[in-house]
Amino acid sequence: MSELDALLEANRTFAAGFDHAALPAPPARRVAVLACMDARLDPARFLGLGIGDAHVIRNAGGRATEDAIRSLIISSWLLGTREFAVVHHTDCGMLTFSNEELRARPRTETGADAWGIDFLPFGNLEESVCEDVRRIRSSPFIPQDIPVRGFLYDVRTGLLNEVQVDRQAAA
């Protein structure tokens, strides 16, 4: 049995006890979270979110890519979220490679040319959070009255630590 088949079996157990019929699409707590895809992060658990509470957007690094901003536009304009949080984390895989190193691997083994891809690795966690918070804040498509705050999640302690984006900008 594949791992995914085992997960599907777990889903049948989950569905048998499911009791959240007919919740509306707009998030009840009007929050959207952009976080890394890392397996050690479970945003719903570490923020105490219930079913229907908040949008959760995730990608490698928790980066404010065009696609993440597409999602945040839909989240705010169409579904009414009013606060955004960006969450990167300690021991992130994005700290461990360069674009050149990752581009070389699929190229060697598949022959496909990955040189055009920016994998968005970073060298400093606080800086990457600041960069992504600022990118969202400066988007002309995000309502200007939405606060965008940045955090580092510590995978050893489970704690979110806020990154002072404005202070760093002034330093």
Site for a copy of itself in 81-140 (CB under 8 A): 82-83, 85, 91-94, 96-97, 102, 105-106, 109-112, 114, 117-120, 140
Helix 66-73 crosses helix 125-137 at what angle (to 10 degrees)? 50
Single residue of 122, 125, 126, 155 touching a copy of itself by CB under 8 A: 155
By CB under 8 A, name the one of 1, 13, 123, 171 that touches a copy of itself. Answer: 13
Q: According to the binding rule CB under 8 A, does residue 44 interact with a copy of itself?
A: yes
Segment near a copy of itself (CB under 8 A), from 78-86, 126-134, 163-171?
Answer: 78-86
Nearer to a copy of itself, 91 or 127 (CB): 91
Q: Of 158 and 169, which has the nearer Cβ to a copy of itself?
A: 158
Closer of 63 and 88 to a copy of itself (Cβ):
63
As a whole number of angstroms, the distance between CA 85 and CA 128 comes to 14
- CB-side neighbour CA atoms (13 Å) of 81: 24
> Binding to a copy of itself by residue 80, rule CB under 8 A?
no
Shortest gap between Cβ of 90 and a copy of itself (angstroms)?
11
Which one of residues 1, 7, 170, 171 is an interface residue with a copy of itself (CB under 8 A)?
A: 7
